[in-house]
Amino acid sequence: MTSKLLCAAFILAALTLSITFSLQPDQQKVLLVSFDGFRWDYLYRVPTPHFHYVMKYGVHVKQVTNIFITKTYPNHYTLVTGLFAENHGIVANDMFDPILNKSFSLDTMNIYDSEFWEEATPIWITNQKAGHTSGAAMWPGTDVKIHESFPTHYMLYNESVSFEERVAKIIEWFTSKEPINLGLLYWEDPDDMGHHLGPDSPLMGPVISDIDNKLGYLIQMLKKANLWNTLNLIITSDHGMTQCSEERVIELDQYLDKEHYLLIDQSPVAAILPKEGKFDEVYEALAHAHPNMTVYKKEEIPERWHYKYNTRVQPIIAVADEGWYILQNKSEGLMLGNHGYDNALAEMHPIFLAHGPAFRKNFTKAAMNATDLYPLLCHLLGIPALPHNGSLSSVQDLLRPTAPRTVTHTQSPPPHHGSGKPGEHEQESNAYFIGVSLGSIIVIVFFITFFKHLIRSQIPALPDMQAEIAQPLLQA
Ligand SMILES: [Zn+2]
């Protein structure tokens, strides 16, 4: 009976120990990779053996709902803040802030004004405040000073820097004397070629194959650096891509007098700032102008887009149906592929795969939100998550069952614009340390009990042992 009890105690103690310490500090490394514009179904378009290798030995989420608008900068900022566009403030690639009286434009790379980024705090800053170091290879926003900080290591954005050079930097930072625990790696394709060729083009096949080879190169380099089994690799993207056509163009000049408004952002979500006293005129002229364009007054924007409560969202937005293009006029030219449309559309959705000590193997999950990545990252890094719009509990099944599950709440209270309360999520990391301490105490108590019983049970056998030892001495 006693031995059974002891056996149970031992198993319980071993289990507690393994659960508590299953994610060792050297396993809390995360490399977040974004292949811009990698639509979810590109994985099946041509053979993608390296992506499938990650899926087989890691996890795969089939449907990732990104945020509206489904553009590059808004979504990349969501991935590292967990916030909707109206909350993090990067509401488009091209913006005008009427309070700051300043513009932001990806087209001209006029994106370095800190004030546009400071409605949120990206994960690298929180990571560094927690005493860790981060490294970023061209991830959007990582070469901008935000809240007086840069990532510990970063590269100035330069699209001509090769993928291999970016990977080399990431590996260097992860293997240095003071290794980073968070790496962010960005690559411009297949977005660039998707815009140029259109996603339906057969020429997209080789583009996707090339990305698969790049992933293969990254895996090879991680293995060579002995990082493959200790680092948590997350591969995702910001949005998908849909086919456009010269047959599907909406020209604003056909409906509006150019003198009556400023066009802040174009297709597929036209951001329109009417000039003083011209709001009604502009709205009326546009409201029923085209059957494939829906026009909203700012206050009428659907709640599900979480795209209303920010001064950078213009008084009128016009949203094109999938595959349609909004232009001032046709002289501007269009791209054969585009994104930015309703985030409920499947073709706007990106990929999500992960591999590493924290993740399950060969596990497929049906769906997640892009906002859920941020609390997952914070959990893996063991750092406090700031208020966000995601939910760790809805993605926790991606993690190995033995990984510490320390979080009890399901969803962060959605922060409203400018009302974030840093600190609410510190309980997540505190809970981890409480778990570690409690686990250690339980283990120590069980081992003391175990050894006490062991010693006691061995005492009656001592006289016999002494006799055996004594005998040869007597013979001598
Ligand atoms: Zn993009």
What is the whole-number distance in angstroms between the Cα of residue 36 and the centre of ligand 1? 5
Buried b (16+ CB within 10 A) or exposed e, 112-127: eeeebbebbbbbbbbb
How far is ligand 1, taken at its centre, from the CA of residue 293, in Å? 22
Domains of the chain by range and CATH? 29-242+343-431 (3.40.720.10), 249-334 (3.30.1360.180)
pLDDT over 80 (residue 141): yes
Pick from 33, 31, 34, 44: which is nearest to 208 by CA? 44
Are the C-beta atoms of 72 and 140 separated by less than 8 Å?
yes
Stretch 339-357: mean pLDDT, rounded? 98
At 125 the three-state DSSP class reads helix
The pLDDT-based confidence of 444 (bands split at 50, 70, 90) is low
Return the DSSP state at 206. Answer: H
Calculate how far, in angstroms, residue 328's C-alpha sits from the geometric centre of ligand 1. 22
Distance from residue 108's CA to the centre of ligand 1 (Å): 16
Confidence of residue 369 (pLDDT cuts 50, 70, 90): very high
Q: What is the pLDDT of residue 426?
A: 29
401: confidence class by pLDDT, cuts 50, 70, 90: confident
Residues paired with 146 in a beta bridge:
149
Give the pLDDT confidence score for residue 448 in this predicted structure: 55
Neighbours of 450 (CB within 10 A): 16
Give the mean model confidence (pLDDT) for residues 379-395.
97
pLDDT category at 452 given cuts 50, 70, 90 is low
Going by pLDDT thresholds of 50, 70 and 90, the confidence category of residue 333 is confident
For 437, which DSSP code? H
Give 369 Cα–ligand 1 centroid separation in angstroms.
Answer: 17
**Residue, of 87 and 474, whose pLDDT is higher:** 87
**Digit-coded pLDDT (tens) for 189-216:** 999 999 999 999 999 999 999 999 999 9
As annotated, the active-site residues are: 72
Mean pLDDT of the chain: 86
Q: What is the pTM of this model?
A: 0.82
Task: Compute the average pLDDT of residues 371-386.
Answer: 98
Q: Given pLDDT bands bounded at 50, 70 and 90, which one contains residue 108?
A: confident
Angle at 343 between CA 339 and CA 344, to 5 degrees: 125
- pLDDT category at 156 given cuts 50, 70, 90 is very high
- Residue 239 Cα to ligand 1 midpoint, Å, equals 6
